[in-house]
Amino acid sequence: MKGYFMIAALVLPATLQAEQADFSVYSVGTNKINNTVFVETISPIPNNYCNDNNLFQLTVDDVDANRFLSVALAAQVQGIKLTIDYDPAICVGDGTAVQIFKLKS
């Protein structure tokens, strides 16, 4: 039993790679082809492993999809940054999956 806990302790930290950064919003929208909502950032996403280095996406059926669009649109209109927590290894479509998002004050 101890062996299983040791393996889990070694593997788990390697999979939790949450990053946080502040982004200026370039565009906000939806993609009907892959059923996602997206926020395109002006600067690249640091340490990103997904295909598009300037794109955050959530699926349209994610409970936070509409909130994500609203907060991103507010950031764009007000000219303030959006703080996003993300795991650079988790992709949705070509973009990076969002874990936490908020307006930078």
Asked if residues 57 and 97 have their Cβ atoms less than 8 Å apart, the reply is yes
Bridge partners of 55, per DSSP, are: 40
> 18-103 domain in CATH 2.60.40.10?
no
For residue range 59-97, list pLDDT tens digits in order.
999 999 999 999 999 999 999 999 999 999 999 999 999
For residue range 34-56, list pLDDT tens digits in order.
999 999 999 999 999 999 999 99
Domain boundaries, the chain: 18-103
